[in-house]
Amino acid sequence: MAVVTARGVGSIPWTSRARRFAANLRALAGREPAAAAAVEAASGDLTGHTLHTMPDGNYQIADGSGSWLGGLNDHKAATALWKFDKSATPLPYPVVFDGVGFGWLFAEVFRSTVDTYNGYAPALYVLDPDPAALAMALHLHDWQEMIRHPRTRWFVGGDVLQRFKAALRQEPGWSVPEQFVRCHLRARQPLAVEEAIGELRAQRATEREEALRAAREYYADKDGAFWAARFNDGQPLRILGITSRYTTVLQHAVAELQAAAGEAGHEMRVAIEPDDASLENPFPALIAAYRPDLIVQISRLRYENPALPAHVPFLCWDQDNLPCMRTPAATASLDILTFVAGHGALHGWSFHGWPRRNVVFCHPAACTHRYPATPVSAAMREKYACDISFISNAAAGPEQIAAQQAPRWQPSLGELFRTCSGEILGAAAAGRTWEFADLQGLLRQHGRSYGLSEATINELSLSLSLIADRAFRHAALHWAADFVEATGRSLRLYGKGWEQHPRLARYAAGPAAQGEELRAIYQASRINLQLIEGGFLHSRSLDSLAAGGFFLTRTAGNDSRGEALSAALHTLGQRSVALRLRTLAALRASGDAAAQGAMATLREHLVGYDEEAELRALENWAELAQAPVLFPQLGQVRFGSAAEFRELAGHYLADGEARERVAGEMREVVTREFTHARRWGQFLGHIAAALR
């Protein structure tokens, strides 16, 4: 630490800081009355010390003998001792402070660790057996906000180390620190913080292992026959959902599942970190004590968490199409008690040979409890009113996505990836869209000399689909920007990063919080936009419709570009299942009139399929009707070009009654077909039948 000279030191009375000290003391009394009382009582000792200020902003304190506490140093420079990069450590463990010294380092640690990842901020434990030292620090800085914040936890005066250990034993949700800072203002013995941390971590590990052992023992003798009887006895189930509060959407999906499970007569508890300063998920203790009949996670498979017991039914509802669903380990993990719904089920069934009993075909669902159509307040409606809005964090352009994905395919497939991604980017401006089969065809066309396996083609296609989807969204947003600039209408883009977009920054409206703020945006926007190449059926559009919002959507390949094609896919799939025919050749030869008619309608779309090979997608098509079948109104709100967007936007902005009519009709579909209660019926019905 740099040494400073005494030149320019100015003595100031402690009473000049009395108002600041009193405010800090009130804040501390609201958190820890005993600590505040100890600090207030010890503040009388300050008369034996003198407070000084320096031109560089430092404070210096001299004791009765004239010695400078901590030396006549640049105490502010202590902030340089804290090296923290939240991009490298987004979920840092808590920090223990053995004293706060002059306070500069403590304040810097607090400031730099606010919201390191989706609302998480590590706990800061302050241990100071010398309340007079803390009284001095509370005269120097306005710490009211930090003191009141629930992530700062104060242990002051007396045997602080024992009280600290007792608190963490009593509060299993409080995370044990991994690092500590020693910063004494006055000379004293250091606390045995490192030993205390080791003791607490060992105790937590023992408690966790005991809970996991109890869970393993309980489930050890539960076989398929036991669970078949349990899921078919008609009695309410005990369900445990496991999620994290440091997700943007998934925790809300689990909360929606919990509400829907209760409505269906089951009991569901949720394992989630207890507060925004904790990394402790209580699932081991909850499993041991609650003994659930079913464990549910969103977008995570059982094999990813070895701590989960093996002999209890497990359901993963994959809402993110994550790579963890496509590994050999994922396929190997599909035992008789593991079930997957959503994107992972579709991909695993279609491309990885997953058994039918393990996969639950289902559409996404709306959070109808979180986003009801009851009107928001007039003030909120006025605040968020606009002509057109779009909500997404997908502000990075398709070129940026291509650059992010390219290193994944270096060096062997780098040139192929560049060729294919270049073609996708080049066609974006012309409005080209890409279905998954189109991307596979593109790779086969340009990759003949690479000897690509089907698994590699599928993974490359998924990588390219990220680029195609981003181009799909941004092209439509440029159409919307052109429209509002030509007509004087308003456009708002909610989400992170739009303020940096070269063309669309002027429409950036900042992030939008889940819950009431999103509901207000849905209701106050005359037109909400749904732009995703995966199609209209997405949680965002379903939530908005549930809340009473009106949508325009860009035509996507998965929506089959029309009611006739969607209906034909559904019919062909249903006839395949009914006739137990798994190839297009067999269906063509069957003479079945409905199958023949559907194949005639789909002629151009079936060209790329091998007619003699088993086509697993037929069962998908049978189970999952596409958006135009489920929403007959989709043709009234769908655009495929800039001209079509101009026409539709102009029409609906001028006709409020038409907007309300279409939104009302589509909301009726959501509340009938896309609730979490409806999904529970699918999930539990499938599991019960599979176990039988």
Residues 670 and 686 in one domain: no
CATH number of the domain to which 493 belongs: 3.40.50.2000
Residues 110, 115, 117: CA angle, nearest 5 degrees: 130
**Joined tokens for residue 482:** 């052109």
Is residue 544 domain-resident? Answer: yes
Residue 27 Cα distances to 13, 23, 36, 510, angstroms: 23, 6, 9, 32
Q: Nearest 5°: phi and psi at 412?
A: -65, -35
Beta bridge partners of 50: 62
Q: How far is CA 574 from the centre of its chain?
A: 35
pLDDT per position as a tens digit, 218-242: 999 999 999 999 999 999 999 999 9
CATH number of the domain to which 274 belongs: 3.40.50
HEC string of 201-255?
HHHHHHHHHHHHHHHHHHHCCCCHHHHHHHHCCCCCCEEEEECCCCCCCHHHHHH
CA distance 238 to 257: 13
DSSP H/E element including 62: strand 59-62
Which of 166, 191, 216 is at the close of a domain? Answer: 191
Span 496-511, average pLDDT: 96
CA distance 47 to 651: 77
Residues 77 and 136 in one domain: yes
Is residue 237 domain-resident? Answer: yes
Residues 424 and 346 in one domain: no
Q: Could you tell me where the beta strands, DSSP code E, fall in 428-581? A: 491-494, 508-510, 525-530, 551-554
Tell how strand 50-53 and strand 10-12 pair up: antiparallel
Residues 617 and 644 in one domain: no
**Whole-angstrom Cα Rg for the chain:** 31
Span 57-68, average pLDDT: 92
Give residue for tokens 């009887």.
229
Span 314-329, average pLDDT: 89
CA distance 264 to 244: 24
CA distance 35 to 593: 83
Is residue 211 domain-resident? Answer: no
> Position 289: which residue type?
A
Tell how strand 152-156 and strand 267-271 pair up: unpaired
Which of 623, 639, 660 is at the close of a domain? Answer: 623
CA distance 44 to 14: 11
Query: Mind giving me the DSSP string for 330-341?
Result: HHHT--TTEEEE
Residues 539 and 579 in one domain: no
Is the pLDDT assigned to residue 246 strictly greater than 60?
Answer: yes
pLDDT per position as a tens digit, 532-554: 988 899 999 999 999 999 999 99
Is residue 422 domain-resident? Answer: yes
DSSP letter, residue 562: S
Is residue 369 domain-resident? Answer: no
Residue 600 Cα distances to 300, 313, 352, 594, 616, angstroms: 40, 43, 29, 10, 20
CA distance 61 to 136: 9
pTM over the 0.95 mark = no
- Identify the band that residue 3 occupies on the pLDDT scale cut at 50, 70 and 90: very low
For residue 437, give the nearest of 410, 415, 414, 465 by alpha carbon: 465
Give residue for tokens 């067999």.
586
Helices (H), 431-453: 436-446
CA distance 150 to 676: 34
pLDDT per position as a tens digit, 411-449: 999 999 999 999 999 988 778 888 888 899 999 999 999
Is residue 203 domain-resident? Answer: no
Span 56-77, average pLDDT: 93
- Identify the band that residue 644 occupies on the pLDDT scale cut at 50, 70 and 90: very high
pLDDT per position as a tens digit, 456-478: 999 999 999 999 999 999 999 99
Residues 275 and 406 in one domain: no
> Position 105: which residue type?
L
**pLDDT value of residue 324:** 84
User: Collapsing DSSP states into helix, strand and coil, what is residue 131?
Assistant: helix
CA distance 346 to 620: 7
**pLDDT value of residue 320:** 83
Span 299-312, average pLDDT: 95
**Joined tokens for residue 539:** 């949680």
Residues 432 and 467 in one domain: yes
CA distance 330 to 337: 14
Is the pLDDT assigned to residue 690 strictly greater than 60?
Answer: yes
Q: CB–CB of 222/293 below 8 Å?
A: no
Other Cβ atoms closer than 10 A to 635: 12
- Identify the band that residue 1 occupies on the pLDDT scale cut at 50, 70 and 90: very low
Q: How many domains does the chain have?
A: 4
Other Cβ atoms closer than 10 A to 357: 14
pLDDT per position as a tens digit, 365-384: 999 999 999 999 999 999 99
- Identify the band that residue 321 occupies on the pLDDT scale cut at 50, 70 and 90: confident
Other Cβ atoms closer than 10 A to 331: 16
CA distance 468 to 431: 11
Residue 50 Cα distances to 105, 156, 678, angstroms: 22, 23, 71
- Identify the band that residue 561 occupies on the pLDDT scale cut at 50, 70 and 90: low
Is residue 200 domain-resident? Answer: no
Residue 667 Cα distances to 144, 203, 373, 660, 671, angstroms: 47, 52, 9, 10, 6
CA distance 36 to 24: 9
CA distance 175 to 282: 11
Cβ density class 72-96: b for 16+ within 10 Å, e for less: bbbbbebeeebeeeeeeeeebebbb
**pLDDT value of residue 64:** 87
Residues 487 and 453 in one domain: yes
For residue 327, give the nearest of 355, 361, 352 by alpha carbon: 352
Residues 463 and 352 in one domain: no
Which of 170, 191, 212 is at the close of a domain? Answer: 191
User: Collapsing DSSP states into helix, strand and coil, what is residue 93?
Assistant: coil
**pLDDT value of residue 9:** 62
Domain that holds residue 180: 10-191
Cβ density class 156-165: b for 16+ within 10 Å, e for less: bbeebbebbb
Of 124-133, 342-351, 428-437, give the lowest mean pLDDT range: 428-437
Residues 598 and 638 in one domain: no
CB-neighbour burial class of residue 52 (10 A; exposed 0-12, middle 13-18, buried 19+): middle
* Cα torsion angle, 101, 107, 108, 113, sign: positive
Mean of all residue pLDDT scores within the chain: 94
Is residue 2 domain-resident? Answer: no
Other Cβ atoms closer than 10 A to 48: 11
Q: CB–CB of 364/537 below 8 Å?
A: yes
Q: Nearest 5°: phi and psi at 235?
A: -90, 155
CA distance 664 to 670: 10
pLDDT per position as a tens digit, 129-167: 999 999 999 999 999 999 999 999 999 999 999 999 999
CB-neighbour burial class of residue 607 (10 A; exposed 0-12, middle 13-18, buried 19+): exposed
Beta bridge partners of 521: none
Residues 534 and 608 in one domain: no
Residues 544 and 568 in one domain: no
Q: CB–CB of 494/388 below 8 Å?
A: no
